[in-house]
């Protein structure tokens, strides 16, 4: 039952592994815990929404596969389902994550329902602007839907500036950074779990991503190979994606297969992150870098890159380290230094945990979204 100060919100995101879908799902769960009614309108059940939760309803988008269509008309099917749920459940807001194609569907749904009856908010996450939206074939429609959104938010100041510059826009964009559940992602005393992955005395390096080219997983492997020359280490690779087969071949060619563990996609990220001694995320660019923040919340030092959104929460030498994406030797040298100095590693990890708790906890950041909802309504 909707209260006086609660909202009915439809959330659309990519439901599989990836920062945008994870943030959208975590947002929905926190909103529901606060008494808001949340409706996930997605092609499949979001990966972090696997158990029943009060105030949350999942609406699956069915994709038509009619012979005349060269490809399934997902954008249209999604728009129709959004409009159906909006009318049937009397939604206040459609909140879409990732511009293409979700903002297009939200715009169509709003027109179907009636612009005065529902608002739609677009949250930009990074590659929807830096890689997809600025392609000539998508540029105009991306710009159009950003302009027509009732509110636009981005996950970093970097992405806000990039969006305004790329699309030559003159509109307000609200920065609401990504967040982490610091009660779930926390340091754990789990030596028995370390034994699953590494022998006594071995340090553990971790990389987690959707293994797209922008994540630079090959750089992770090169850094690890250099570190492995001088100390006993193990590399955990968590996630799946288009680059994973190439990374598997690369590991074999470098002769380090016995030191690399492929974990695949997993929902138990909060159990794996704390066992690591160092997290590597050498992306070419990140709208924010959620995986890095989750590692920091577990008091695991991060080596990231000095481009994109990561410099907004990683202070080089204080709570993590930043390098040029191509500086493999620099990253490897810093990794060797950190892994060889437990006092330094633990100090950086402690600072990282403090940053996550003080500035990026789920409770604090979700309140910023609620304030946006209040404003737009």
Q: Both 315 and 274 in a single domain?
A: yes
Give the Cα separation of 312 and 360 in Å (integer): 12
- Shared domain check, 372 and 347: no
From CA 373, how far away is CA 290, in angstroms rounded? 23
The reported pTM is 0.90
On whether both 221 and 338 belong to a single domain, the answer is yes
Residue 4 has a pLDDT of: 52
Does residue 132 fall inside a structural domain? yes
270 and 327 together in one domain: yes
Tell me, yes or no, whether 184 lies in a domain.
no
Domain check: are 15 and 91 in the same one? yes
Return the beta strands (E) in the chain as ranges.
8-12, 37-42, 56-60, 93-97, 119-124, 151-154, 174-175, 203-208, 233-238, 260-264, 278-280, 302-305, 321-323
**Cis bond upstream, residue 101 (ω within 30):** yes
Whether 1 is covered by a domain: the verdict is: no
Q: Domains in the chain: how many in total?
A: 2
Residues 299 and 195 in one domain: yes
Residue 19 lies in a domain: yes
Are residues 33 and 62 both part of a single domain? Answer: yes
Q: Which residues of 221-253 are buried (b: 16+ CB within 10 A; e: fewer)?
A: bbbbbbbbeeeebbbbbbbbbebbeebeebbee
Q: Domain check: are 136 and 160 in the same one?
A: yes
Give the CA angle between residues 83, 84, 86 to the nearest 5°: 60
Residues 223 and 166 in one domain: no
Question: Phi and psi at residue 171, in whole multiples of 5°?
Answer: -145, 160
44 occurs within a structural domain? yes
Q: Is residue 2 domain-resident?
A: no
Question: Is residue 272 located within the same domain as residue 162?
Answer: no
Decide if 91 contacts 113 (C-beta within 8 A): no
Q: Which residues of the chain have pLDDT under 70?
A: 1-4, 17, 132-134, 190-192
CB 83 within 8 A of CB 112: yes
Residue pair 17/46 in contact (Cβ under 8 Å)? The answer is no
pLDDT score, position 328: 97
**Assigned domain for 278 exists:** yes
Q: Which residue range is the domain that position 281 belongs to?
A: 191-359
For residues 52 and 36, what is the distance between their CA atoms, to the nearest angstrom? Answer: 15
Residue whose token pair is 């402690």: 350
Distance (Å) of CA 74 to CA 41, 121, 146, 202: 12, 20, 20, 47
185, part of any domain: no
Which CATH number fits the domain that encloses residue 301?
3.40.50.2000
> How far, in Å, are 25, 180, 216, 360 from residue 208 at the CA level?
18, 15, 11, 19
Helices in 172-314 by DSSP H: which ranges? 191-197, 217-228, 244-253, 269-272, 290-297
Asked if residue 110 and residue 28 are part of one domain, the reply reads yes
How do strand 93-97 and strand 119-124 relate by DSSP bridges?
A: parallel
Query: Angle, to 10 degrees, between the axis of helix 74-88 and the axis of helix 102-113?
Result: 40
Question: Do residues 347 and 370 share a domain?
Answer: no
């Amino acid at each position: 039952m909707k209260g006086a100060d609660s909202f009915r919100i439809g959330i659309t995101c990519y439901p599989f592994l990836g920062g945008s879908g994870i943030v959208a799902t975590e947002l929905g769960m926190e909103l529901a815990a606060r008494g808001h009614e949340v409706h996930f309108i997605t092609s499949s059940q979001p990966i972090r929404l696997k158990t029943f939760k009060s105030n949350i309803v999942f609406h699956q988008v069915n994709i038509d596969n009619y012979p005349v269509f060269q490809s399934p008309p997902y954008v249209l099917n999604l728009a129709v389902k959004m409009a159906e749920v909006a009318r049937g459940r009397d939604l206040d807001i459609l909140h879409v994550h990732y511009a293409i194609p979700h903002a297009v569907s939200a715009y169509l749904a709003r027109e179907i329902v009636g612009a005065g009856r529902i608002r739609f908010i677009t949250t930009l996450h990074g590659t929807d602007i830096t890689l997809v939206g600025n392609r000539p074939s998508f540029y105009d429609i991306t710009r159009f839907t950003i302009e027509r959104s009732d509110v636009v938010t981005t996950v970093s100041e970097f992405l806000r500036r990039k969006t305004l510059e790329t699309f030559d826009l003159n509109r307000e964009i609200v920065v609401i950074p990504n967040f982490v559940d610091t009660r779930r992602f926390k340091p754990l005393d789990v030596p028995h779990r370390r034994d699953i992955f590494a022998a006594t005395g071995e340090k553990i390096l971790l990389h987690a991503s959707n293994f797209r080219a922008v994540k630079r997983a090959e750089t992770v492997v090169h850094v690890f190979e250099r570190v492995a020359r001088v100390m006993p280490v193990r590399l955990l690779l968590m996630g799946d994606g288009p680059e994973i087969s190439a990374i598997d071949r690369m590991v074999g060619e470098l002769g380090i297969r016995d030191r690399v563990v492929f974990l695949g996609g997993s929902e138990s990220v909060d159990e794996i992150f704390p066992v690591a001694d160092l997290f590597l995320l050498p992306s070419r660019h990140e709208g924010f870098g959620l995986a890095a923040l989750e590692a920091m919340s577990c008091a695991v030092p991060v080596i990231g890159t000095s481009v994109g959104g990561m410099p907004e929460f990683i202070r080089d030498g204080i709570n993590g380290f930043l390098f040029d994406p191509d500086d493999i030797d620099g990253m490897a040298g810093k990794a060797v230094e950190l892994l060889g100095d437990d006092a330094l590693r633990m100090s950086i990890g402690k600072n990282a945990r403090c940053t996550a708790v003080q500035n990026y906890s789920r409770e604090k950041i979700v309140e910023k979204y609620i304030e946006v909802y209040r404003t737009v309504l």
